[in-house]
Structures are given as structure tokens and as C-alpha cells.
Amino acid sequence: MPIATPEVYNEMLDRAKAGKFAYPAVNVTSSQTLHAALRGFAEAESDGIVQISTGGAEFLGGQYKKDMVTGAVALAEFAHIVAEKYPVTIALHTDHCPKDKLDGYVRPLLKISQERVAAGRNPLFQSHMWDGSAETLDHNLEIAKELLAEAAKAKIILEMEITPTGGEEDGISHEINDNLYTTVDDAFRTVEAVGLGEHGRYLLAASFGNVHGVYKPGNVVLRPSILKELQEAVAQKYGKPSPFDFVFHGGSGSTKEEIDEALENGVVKMNIDTDLQYAFTRPVADHMFRNYDGVLKVDGEVGNKKTYDPRVWGKSAEAGMAARVVVATQDLRSAGNKRK
């Protein structure tokens, strides 16, 4: 069962929450980066999450049409086939989707999975993300409520971002300032709007200083203790211990101590993208610099097919990214925790 069923995905998240670990959620943009992610999870003996952003889906859809739904569906179908060769369980997820892209991305994908479920099959994706952080909280939660109902029909979990994450990703940007911290009142309003699972399960991307992009440790002021405050306040008010399944966005540059604290406070999914892009590209750059006279037809020569063949440098790229995925599983404690 390489691609998780809805039941298995729920069990995966429950096990992560109870075991104080999280799954790396790896952004992929091609069949090659998909294989790199799957290889990394397999080598680490960790289950995991593979996700496609709107920009990634557009890229996968091809530069002629740039159709996001086509790109996402094509890679998801491909994943359902090739993942069978890897001894781990994988969930498929779509990453950040703002309001202006819902009709061209998440809503059509939800319909596809609803039709599959109605026909007695499993959904194509296991979860989708709604990023309403650019909207007012009231409007954000109004849309979240509608999407959660649609996701529940497809046996899909909804991820929602209720407050901004700093930096920029796929054209969504927020300033790095004091607004990057979710408040207890934000959490209460979230529960009032979408409940605590009775209307459908959801993952919550709360903000505790997270920033997308490339930053060295110490340059981002993270306060993972906020997650504990949110858990405890809602638990006290509603009588449900540790009510939230949190997602950690903008993790590049986070210290091991910050990650550990976030795991202790209910993070079950952490997005990994920027660091993996570098891990994939770095071996390619190394190959090109070392073999420039082979990959280029310098001074009218013919070059060297054994160096410019994409399979040659592509294998190094896959290995580099897979190795970084292994590190992510170790940081998040999911290594060695695959389903038996």
C-alpha cells in the first residue's frame, strides 16, 4: 500500500502525533524529484508526504499550456504507479493555494477525488492546502469551512494556513514582522468556524515566526512555544487534549532545538523545499563545472555524450536530494518509523 488510503493517512498522522515526530513534506516538480523523495524516504525507512505547489503543478503541466490540474494529476497518477517499488507509505498533498487559484487548482482536484470515491476508489490526493493567509481571518475561515466540507466528501484532509508565514513562495509573500505569530484568539475563531474534526479533519499551519526562503540559523525568530499555548488554551476551553495537528512552514534555517520543541507541541508535518532544491541542483552544478568541455561543444568540438547525457548528471541530482531527505527524516524523528 505505497500510496496511503484515507484510513492509513489518518493513522499515520495519529502515530506521528503520539510519537512526537513529523513527516517531511517534500515538494516535487518532476518525475525525477519524485523518485528522489521516494528514495530518500525508503533509505531512511520513513513514511512521508510528497506535495505539489501551484507553481510546481504549472511547471509539471508543461510550458506550452502551463495547466496546473493537468500537471498535478499526471504526477499523482505516476506516483501511484512508481511508489509501489518503494517499501514505504506515501501521502500525496497539494501545497499553498491562494484564493485566486482555487478554481484553477484545488477545487477541480477535489471534484476528481469526489468522483473517484463515488465510484468506490480512493481519492487521488490525500490532502489539499488552502492558503488564506492573505485574506482577513473571517474570510479565510469562511472559505476554509466550504473547502473542508468538500474535502470530507472525498475523504481528503484539508490543510489551512490561518495567519501569515513570512517571506515568499510561489508568488505569495508576507512581510517579516510581529504579525507572524498566531494568537489564542485566532485559534478560538478557527475552532468556532471549522470545529475540531467533527466536520472533517484538518491540519493547521499556525504561525510562530516562520519564514519561507533561505535563512541561516538565528536570522529568523521562531517561537515554537506559541504552539503549546494554542494547544493548551483550546484544550481547556473545549475539553479536547492536544486538539491541533500542526504544520511547520518555512523551516529552512531552523535549529534542531526549535524543531524539537515544535514536535513536542504537536507538529506532524514539516514542509521541506528550499534545502532540497539546493541538494538537487548542487551536484548538477558540480558536474557541469567539472565537465564543461564535455557538456559544451567548445571551440567547434563535438563534446562528450557521456557527460551531457541527462541520465548521467540526473543520477547525481537524485542522489543528492535523496540524501537530504534522509537528513530531514532524522531531524523530524520519522526515520525508522515506517508502518510495519
* Positions marked active-site: 95
For cell 512581510, name the residue.
Answer: 175
The rounded distance, in Å, linking the Cα atoms of 201 and 171 is 28
The rounded distance, in Å, linking the Cα atoms of 212 and 203 is 19
The rounded distance, in Å, linking the Cα atoms of 93 and 12 is 14
Residue 166 main-chain phi, psi, to 5 deg: -70, 170
Q: H-type helices in 96-254, by residue range? A: 106-118, 137-153, 184-194, 225-238
Of 196, 194, 95, the residue nearest 147 (C-alpha)? 194
The rounded distance, in Å, linking the Cα atoms of 33 and 37 is 6
Q: Is the dihedral of CA 164, 165, 168, 171 positive or negative?
A: negative
Write the CA distances from 11 to 15, 16, 268, integer angstroms: 6, 9, 12
Half-sphere exposure for 160 (CA within 13 Å, toward CB): 30
Amino acid at 10: N
Cell of 61: 503541466
Residue 138 main-chain phi, psi, to 5 deg: -60, -45
Contact 243, 196 (CB under 8 A): yes
